[in-house]
Structure 1
Amino acid sequence: MVDQHSESGRTLDGEILADPAENPGIAVAPALTPAGQAALARAQAFARQAVSPATLRAYKADWTHYAAWCDQTGFVPVPATPAVVGAYLSSLAGSHAPTTIRRRLAAIGTMHRFNDLPWNPAHGDIQHPLRGALRNHGRAVQKAAALTLPMLRQLVATCDRTARGRRDRALLLIGFAAALRRSELVALQVDDIAEDARGLRLRIRRGKTDQAGEGAEIGVPRGRHVETCPVRAFQDWMEIATRKSGPLFRRISTGYTIGDVGMHPDAVRRILAYRAEMAGLVIEGFDRLSAHALRVGFITEAYAKGVRDEDIMRHTRHRTQSVMRGYVQRAGLVSDSPAGMLDL
């Protein structure tokens, strides 16, 4: 058996995507012309864009965790043999969710592939511990609660006419009506919004499932009620934001000064939590109120109103029906249960 301990001292810098000069796997001919060098650099730049920034951040954090585990146990992180990877995955069982375990395996694989190192995720020494870890995990996955229309009205009612109140109201209503992910919501630019007599047209430059960067457009019509109309909320916010370009939703100082810097995606969750606390809203059961609640809430409310699956999917930009229907099934878990048909 090959010794897996760290006397070899081989390490990597922890970067998922190394620069061409730092990657020994890329051979550059001495006589390469400037045009050739530029072409190589351009290819590397596009390679960096092949992975979304959010995924890249998660992979880097996962790699750091794996490297720290190797340091503690005495194993060499790279090149990682299947036995070492299997041992690491086994260490995650019982304390990490299945999605986290799978993502950390993907991060290790990504590091190896981008550095031209051998990688065989189908090896039994990886797959068998992985299956065991997934079957015996001890953490239940907490799902995002669906923000229903009555709940949304409660949150919006806490938004006053201050700068923060107007911004939060617009963010909540646009996020819900457009069924946006938190990253898409904070990435909106002022010139991504077009207004006409019917409502708003939103340009989504890039979404989670849009890895090719093709973009999409979403229509948001005027609401029937003033207090929950996303178009009115947008107008109220723009009235004081007075910006013709840059991020649509901006940070606001404690002195209510509207800044020029856009918001972090996690700010959506914090706004939801803050408004829920102000409204006295308590989420019961196993669910949690996350930034995804806006998107999940739109799906469940639209389905309850009889909107067709294909119309919901076109609006939410889901590629498969199974993911979208998963939210719907959870919403009707009790009301649609066959146990209700029994004479209990």
Structure 2
Amino acid sequence: MAVFSEQKPQNRVARPSGPSRSRRVVDAVSDARLSAEPAAPGADELPDIVELVMAMGRAPETPPADDLSPPLPAVANPRLPAHLDALADRARDYVEAASSANTRRAYAADWRHFASWCRRQGLEMFPPDPQVVGLYITAQASGTVTGDRKPNSVSTIERRLSSLTWNFSQRGQPLDRKDRHIATVMAGIRNKHAAPPRQKEALLPEDLIAMLETLERGSLRGLRDRAMLLLGFAGGLRRSEIVGLDCGRDQTEDGHGWIEVLEKGLLVTLRGKTGWREVEVGRGSADATCPVVALETWLKLARIAHGPLFRRVTGQGKAVGAERLADQEVARLVKRTALAAGVRGDLPEGERGIMFAGHSLRSGLASSAEVDERYVQKQLGHASAEMTRKYQRRRDRFRVNLTKASGL
């Protein structure tokens, strides 16, 4: 049985054939407006979904009399009583806290991408139609969404499908991802186009030591970068976890954890993807490579006693700002120092440039720490040992030899 029926879905075409005279006049005015003004909201210029959800409790805005654009699909909420305004404000804060800023940006970008495609195809977005979504993911896999005819990867298509599901749900019109028009097509895309995962190169201790030698000696920026690399490696931290740390508990609103300097090492309490966890970072065998000493030196010379640990260095490297570093700075730091240190110099320059990122620190610890696997799993905050093994790039895969154990 064919997945897609021959009959065209009803109410999918933006304008029906054979319009009346009044409808032609309205269309002519609308076309003139579209050619002279930016696209109306409701197409690919829809606002961030967080703004739609955060509109709860607000009085609905009355559109201008001459506004011919379709209304925004938002969650219908009656105006709340005045004494509940404070709760509505708190609810909007919780809406923002439900997802990270990066996630919200990705959801908004994917929503605009889908809306733009629907507009070009002359299709309506609402109500959500699994057949339209199935055609959309087919267009992505076949490379017909954009002009360069470059197919999207399976991971990109799956992410956009998840974004659509979330966006439709927040607008009160759920999308059924199990519908055959979506599920069967997505299964075929995975079977035909899925590629093995590309993993970032693991940075081993000798690589990290060489990277530290490329940093400026005696400068505030060099001290900061040294502490970031050593703490990220020894703690097995994600890049967002590194820059999200504060000097103490509850010091900033955007912080994701804090540190405690103890006699034998550093206790890091942080909120990651798997929830709150504690990470112990012991003191190293030498001050030159000790993450605790590097962090203490940075905090002392940068005169940081409160707020974010890692901040921008300004004024030609002589002043420390108050703003927290963005997590992208960690990835740039890892890539820049790895290339400068000649890590994996046996590969072409262009190929080396895409092999290193923030995850290279986490995978480096997992690959080089010769301890029981469960300790590595705890340090990295993984829910399963299988996930930890994916980070162990250079582990002895044949330490357990089932061939010999079976008697062969």
TM over 0.5, shorter chain:
yes
| Inter-partner Cα distance in structure 2 for 1:249 and 1:197 | 22
> Displacement, 1:179?
0.6
Is the 1:188–1:248 contact (alpha carbons within 8 Å) kept by the matching residues of 2? Answer: yes
The within-5 A match list for 1:289-328 is 289-302=356-369, 305=370, 307-328=371-392
- The one-letter code matched in structure 1 to 2:260 is A
Look up the match of 1:11: 42
- The one-letter code matched in structure 1 to 2:172 is D
In structure 2, which of residues 321, 339, 350 is the aligned counterpart of residue 277 of structure 1?
Answer: 339
Is the 1:11–1:78 contact (alpha carbons within 8 Å) kept by the matching residues of 2? Answer: no
Question: In the TM superposition, what whole-angstrom CA distance separates every residue of 1:238-297 from its partner, at most 9, and x where no partner exists?
Answer: 122101112111112361132221111111111112112221223758971111111111
Question: In the TM superposition, what whole-angstrom CA distance separates every residue of 1:171-211 from its partner, at most 9, and x where no partner exists?
Answer: 0000011111111111111222221211111121x21222x
Is the 2:362–2:391 contact (alpha carbons within 8 Å) kept by the matching residues of 1? Answer: no
Q: Percent identity?
A: 29
| Inter-partner Cα distance in structure 1 for 2:398 and 2:117 | 46
In structure 2, which of residues 97, 109, 119 is the aligned counterpart of residue 49 of structure 1?
Answer: 97
| Inter-partner Cα distance in structure 1 for 2:335 and 2:180 | 44
- With the length of structure 1 as denominator, give the TM-score of the two structures: 0.86
SS in 1 for 2:49: coil
Question: In the TM superposition, what whole-angstrom CA distance separates every residue of 1:27-49 from its partner, at most 9, and x where no partner exists?
Answer: 336xx543434334433432332
Change (3 A) 1:246 1:202: same
> Displacement, 1:335?
7.1
Worse overlay, 100-109 or 55-64: 55-64
SS in 1 for 2:272: coil
Is the 2:165–2:174 contact (alpha carbons within 8 Å) kept by the matching residues of 1? Answer: no
| 1:69 matches 2:117 | yes
| Inter-partner Cα distance in structure 2 for 1:79 and 1:44 | 26
Look up the match of 1:107: 163
Look up the match of 2:224: 167
> Which of the pair is proportionally richer in helix?
1
- The one-letter code matched in structure 1 to 2:377 is M
Worse overlay, 61-70 or 123-132: 61-70
- The one-letter code matched in structure 2 to 1:326 is K
SS in 1 for 2:138: helix
The structure with higher relative contact order (CA 8 Å, sep 6+) is 1
Question: In the TM superposition, what whole-angstrom CA distance separates every residue of 1:124-166 from its partner, at most 9, and x where no partner exists?
Answer: 1111221122222276542121111111111112122211111
Look up the match of 2:289: 228
Is the 1:203–1:218 contact (alpha carbons within 8 Å) kept by the matching residues of 2? Answer: yes
Look up the match of 1:195: 261
Gaps of 5+ in 2: 1-8, 17-39, 61-72, 143-150, 249-257
Worse overlay, 73-82 or 186-195: 73-82
| Inter-partner Cα distance in structure 1 for 2:238 and 2:334 | 13
> Displacement, 1:88?
1.3
Change (3 A) 1:6 1:291: farther
Change (3 A) 1:336 1:96: farther
| Inter-partner Cα distance in structure 2 for 1:24 and 1:108 | 15
- With the length of structure 2 as denominator, give the TM-score of the two structures: 0.73
SS in 1 for 2:260: strand
Is the 1:14–1:63 contact (alpha carbons within 8 Å) kept by the matching residues of 2? Answer: no
Gaps of 5+ in 1: none
- The one-letter code matched in structure 1 to 2:163 is A
Count, aligned residues: 330
| 1:123 matches 2:131 | no
Q: CA RMSD in A?
A: 2.8
SS in 1 for 2:193: coil
- The one-letter code matched in structure 2 to 1:197 is E
- The one-letter code matched in structure 1 to 2:77 is A
In structure 1, which of residues 60, 84, 99 is the aligned counterpart of residue 108 of structure 2?
Answer: 60
Change (3 A) 1:321 1:264: same
SS in 2 for 1:326: helix
Look up the match of 2:141: 93
Larger Rg: 2
SS in 2 for 1:202: strand
| Inter-partner Cα distance in structure 2 for 1:141 and 1:61 | 24
Look up the match of 2:252: none
